Structure 1
């Protein structure tokens, strides 16, 4: 591929970034709540989101699962919203609602017709100001969480693989347990502990209110002041900073899963957190290796050699660290060691050779498409704005991200692969069917 074609790709990406530029207004309330507002009149919808900087990494040993538990518990009701009526109010007014929890944050949202924006703001202020946290709600949601764990993890093929990887990849950091936590810990917790967890973390100075869509900025500010100004500020929160010693010798282990018949081979490398430039390079490496049917691993192992049913690589990026994970499922009883060898060969090529200019251009195009897609939905824009503020200390990161990928060179791809993706720096996990009769 000629240099002119690569430069042409850069120009196209720059044009896409300019066309997708997200304008926003941001400010802080006296109680510490950070507010981000984005106006987009293209559709009569508005996303109301609240990002609480609390996830499973803020939990303690013996009391895991609290952050995810609150994802459910804070839909129970408030002093002014009767128990069980939260989602009914949302849907009866043409909206959608949900929440997600990760190791680093809990994210609540409503997506409403824009004429119901005030309702969404009031509801989120209710959730923050005075939810009802009592034994009835705790017991109800305890059963809900247990059923979720059974369906999504315990009874799901390969459902425990992230748990098995992270418990080996992290020895000290709370990332070593998964957000859903331990059901035994939740059973053992007292009501006072749940109430204390809420009082500590679900406060305005630990939250970002991000609103995007068909809104009037000045009117929205008035509603926010009306509903959020009087919520008391909480104590300052210091996020945990726990460092892990580098892995210098390959950790090889075996895990068993009663829900699978086909084994898998997995590797995991502990890598820098999502704010590191190297994390973005690892995202590009993942796309190069396994994004789509024309990717290197898929074409080699599924199409050509036909020794794998599935193969993939992805960068699980978190705030403090990331986990770069590869996996493969064998076809025709191919030994797992053969699959690992094939994956390692492609990684070794990345470490010693520059990817072709054609493959490089393909990566740039993929990231441009993903960037454009991510910023076409108001919910995605609201979340990306909050992510930029909390993680990158730069709400405008949403406008800088594509250019950051554009600046990554083929040489950087080679050097980052060489720096992090070495056998002596990883966990290698043989994930096997559980033998009959095994407890």
Structure 2
């Protein structure tokens, strides 16, 4: 099972960065004799770049009178100063406060009055903003989005009010959340030197300490045309879109993007363990491993391995821990493969009173089987079909297409990965899955997070 937290959270294939409903008949069958699946899902895309570095991707889809407008920036927590974590996510809030031309409340009223919707998300590698709108409003949205790219107000009172909102979000999502607290511990345990180790939402100390001039410097550096990708998908005219994008974005200047500061994570040489205690009735465990980055050949095998382990009631982990041994109420796994490195994680909520170490041994036992034997042809075929179904379902909507194109362009520098990923999944063999398990899922490479009841 792949993680839907990748989008905001994203996996080995950027195309598959969200989990969609599975319908077995919706995707092409994963038959080894098929040489290519690219043409089955390819659609016409136009890409160009303004003189100031803004990358633009357009795809007309007139199947419904709507379009999706995505403006993403190549900035996430890994680009932050370790003394000021949380700025990338903070801007996900500040960007909705608006500009002099389009103040926040006015802008929201415009979106709602036109029957549209909008939102934003932050991953460890990028921040994305989008609107889903009815046709005929594109110039207005281009004007709004281009304006807040460079003209955000950032008034002190708005910063202070949003600071309290973000702090409350941290309390809700991390400090008072079992899974949120464990995720934060997992990333800081698996990553010891890479910038992925610090939390997306930032630390409470840094949220309290960051000053307006620090927000302004961050914005001026990263919210610039040469650090952004704009994607428009849906019912619009490409000629008009290009004309308006040049009109509203064309005069903006490039920014000096600072050099990357992330260090390559060394291979883990010994098991790491963290124990957290909260007022909980039952234990929860996470077992994490270093995993390959997005686009690496091993990432595709990892997604299929995860699917075989935990996707559905017939999966290996569910069958053993939930059904046969009845140790757990739930179990899942996901491969989070970001731009520079990844994590493979298994999470299980155990029944009250269950022996944590025995439950972990059951999990280790299923991982051991992957390292020491081949998965069946039927398991691999099923996993490939489920992955392909997810892809097809995502590419059925204008919003899904836009998200997939933007993510591929940001992570790989090439939107065409949207079309080529299926072939890479289809070519994965049983031997590759075993090799991935042997290479990455060794006992000395695991990090174990335990959430236990207070003593």
- TM-score (norm. length: structure 1): 0.94
1:17-58 per-residue CA deviation (whole Å, 9 max, x = no partner) reads: 433213210011010000000111111111111110000111
Structure-1 residue corresponding to 2:190: 169
Shift of 1:13: 7.5
Q: Does 1:334 align with 2:351?
A: no
- Within a 5 Å distance, the mapping from 1:354-433 to structure 2 comes to 354-433=374-453
Q: Aligned partners of 1:11, 1:346: CA distance in 2, in Å?
A: 26
CA RMSD of aligned residues (A): 1.8
Q: Does 1:134 align with 2:155?
A: yes
Q: Aligned partners of 2:162, 2:183: CA distance in 1, in Å?
A: 24
CA 12–160 in structure 1, closer or farther in 2 if over 3 Å, else same: farther
Shift of 1:433: 2.3
Q: Does 1:116 align with 2:137?
A: yes
Shift of 1:256: 2.0
1:343-374 per-residue CA deviation (whole Å, 9 max, x = no partner) reads: 11111111121111111111111011011011
Structure-2 residue corresponding to 1:86: 107
Q: Aligned partners of 2:383, 2:262: CA distance in 1, in Å?
A: 34
Structure-1 residue corresponding to 2:264: 243
Structure-1 residue corresponding to 2:306: 286
Shift of 1:15: 8.1
1:185-220 per-residue CA deviation (whole Å, 9 max, x = no partner) reads: 122111111100000000000000111111211111
CA contact (8 A) 2:283 2:352 kept: no
Q: Does 1:189 align with 2:189?
A: no
CA contact (8 A) 2:370 2:434 kept: yes
SS at match of 2:178: coil
Q: Aligned partners of 1:299, 1:170: CA distance in 2, in Å?
A: 31
1:292-327 per-residue CA deviation (whole Å, 9 max, x = no partner) reads: 112111112111221111112111221111111112
Shift of 1:150: 2.3
Shift of 1:257: 2.8
Shift of 1:166: 1.2
Shift of 1:332: 5.3
Q: How many residues align?
A: 428
- Within a 5 Å distance, the mapping from 1:285-304 to structure 2 comes to 285-304=305-324
Q: Does 1:34 align with 2:34?
A: no
CA contact (8 A) 2:330 2:350 kept: yes
Shift of 1:12: 9.8
CA contact (8 A) 1:212 1:381 kept: yes
Q: Aligned partners of 2:260, 2:276: CA distance in 1, in Å?
A: 32
Shift of 1:175: 1.2
Structure-2 residue corresponding to 1:103: 124
CA contact (8 A) 1:13 1:402 kept: no
Q: Aligned partners of 1:19, 1:418: CA distance in 2, in Å?
A: 33
Shift of 1:340: 1.2
CA contact (8 A) 1:312 1:327 kept: yes
CA contact (8 A) 1:310 1:329 kept: yes
Structure-2 residue corresponding to 1:4: none
CA contact (8 A) 2:78 2:262 kept: no
Aligned to 1:73, which of 94, 110, 113? 94
CA 421–11 in structure 1, closer or farther in 2 if over 3 Å, else same: closer
- The more displaced of 10-19 and 264-273 is 10-19
Higher relative contact order (CA 8 A, sep 6+): 2
CA contact (8 A) 2:221 2:255 kept: yes
Structure-1 residue corresponding to 2:9: none
1:377-417 per-residue CA deviation (whole Å, 9 max, x = no partner) reads: 21221121122222112211101011110011111001001
CA 11–413 in structure 1, closer or farther in 2 if over 3 Å, else same: closer
Shift of 1:14: 7.1
Structure-2 residue corresponding to 1:257: 278
Q: Aligned partners of 1:287, 1:8: CA distance in 2, in Å?
A: 16
Structure-2 residue corresponding to 1:351: 371
Gaps of 5+ in 2: 1-27
CA contact (8 A) 1:268 1:323 kept: yes
Structure-1 residue corresponding to 2:248: 227
Q: Aligned partners of 2:185, 2:344: CA distance in 1, in Å?
A: 14
